[in-house]
């Protein structure tokens, strides 16, 4: 059986093909563009596959996303919706996201950017901040990564709440459901977006949302660029409604060199690195999921594009 691999970056594609071939010697692992017998393809391991590619494999058993999101697959109008999608979620990817969220929440909480600015001008700036239990932090999206992030921040002492459609939250975390979205926005001084990208969540981080948040609140977006209306954030930063933003994801990636985020004093850019996946750690997870499928089992991270995440 053949496993087709598709990534937009040629160097990373070669790395994934070589490593998966080592982990799954019972399969033929091949770049999707080099497939000569599409009927032989049973699995496709992809990130941002070209439109129509997956529909060209008539015997496709499952598509594996190189990441926790499936929006890049669901965006293909030709995708065969009866074919399940397997998300790649493993301990390394989760750990990286937890480190990212904790790092930037703590940075904003303790006003590290203000201290860095003061250092540049030789100013002795002794900022008194509240302790973590007196800082309200919200996790927007309580999937696997969101739940783990909420627990991590709670462990650091923060007053943490989480939002999901169901409102189901980990023990010790205040949960808000679909009917309580406005109240959720209103409570949080630091908002962390870890939502899946769906038609309902696209553009959710917008002027209307920012107006509901406390004056001077901070934003961290480590989910998808399309959650954010970028011009609305710039306007909210201008008025001080949002005081600072840490952004890992963008509508266009790489972020264009002339984008105002690059030079904005209250925006920190990270180049989509919050939870990078690589063939060494991610390959083990993908190989295990494929072996589960081969044995007739169902991986825990199985979903369908009709669900959206």
Catalytic residues: 224, 272
Residue 147's Cβ-side half-sphere holds a number of Cα atoms within 13 Å equal to 9
Structural tokens at position 175? 């949960």
- Alpha-carbon distance 104 to 219, whole Å? 10
3-state secondary structure of 221: strand
Nearest partner of 48 among 30, 70, 32, judged by Cα: 70
Between CA 138 and CA 149, with CA 143 as vertex, the angle to 5 degrees is 50
**Cβ-contact 143, 309 below 8 angstroms:** yes
Chain-centre distance of CA 87, in angstroms? Answer: 12
**Cβ-contact 279, 20 below 8 angstroms:** yes
3-state secondary structure of 230: helix
**Cβ-contact 60, 43 below 8 angstroms:** yes
């Amino acid at each position: 059986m053949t496993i087709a691999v598709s990534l937009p970056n040629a160097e990373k594609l070669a790395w994934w093909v070589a490593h998966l071939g080592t982990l799954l010697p019972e399969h033929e692992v091949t770049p999707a563009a080099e497939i000569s017998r599409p009927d032989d393809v049973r699995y496709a391991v992809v990130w941002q596959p070209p439109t129509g590619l997956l529909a060209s494999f008539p015997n496709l058993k499952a598509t594996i996303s190189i990441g926790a999101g499936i929006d890049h697959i669901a965006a293909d109008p030709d995708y065969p919706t009866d074919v399940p999608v397997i998300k790649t979620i493993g301990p390394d990817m989760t750990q990286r996201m937890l480190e990212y969220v904790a790092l930037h929440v703590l940075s904003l909480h303790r006003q590290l950017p203000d201290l860095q600015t003061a250092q540049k001008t030789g100013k002795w700036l002794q900022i008194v901040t509240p302790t973590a239990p007196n800082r309200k932090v919200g996790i927007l999206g309580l999937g696997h990564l969101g739940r783990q992030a909420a627990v991590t921040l709670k462990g650091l002492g923060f007053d943490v709440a989480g939002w999901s459609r169901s409102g189901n939250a980990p023990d010790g975390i205040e949960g808000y459901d679909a009917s309580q979205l406005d109240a959720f926005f209103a409570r949080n001084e630091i908002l962390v977006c870890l939502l899946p990208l769906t038609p309902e969540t696209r553009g959710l981080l917008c002027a209307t949302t920012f107006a509901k948040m406390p004056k001077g609140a901070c934003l961290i977006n480590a989910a998808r660029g399309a959650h954010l209306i970028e011009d609305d954030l710039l306007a909210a930063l201008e008025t001080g409604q949002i005081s600072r933003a840490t952004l890992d994801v963008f509508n266009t990636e790489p972020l264009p060199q002339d984008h105002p985020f690059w030079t904005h004093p209250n925006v920190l850019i990270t180049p989509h690195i919050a939870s990078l996946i690589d063939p060494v750690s991610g390959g083990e997870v993908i190989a295990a999921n494929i072996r589960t499928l081969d044995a007739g089992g169902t991986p825990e991270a199985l979903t369908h594009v009709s669900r959206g995440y």
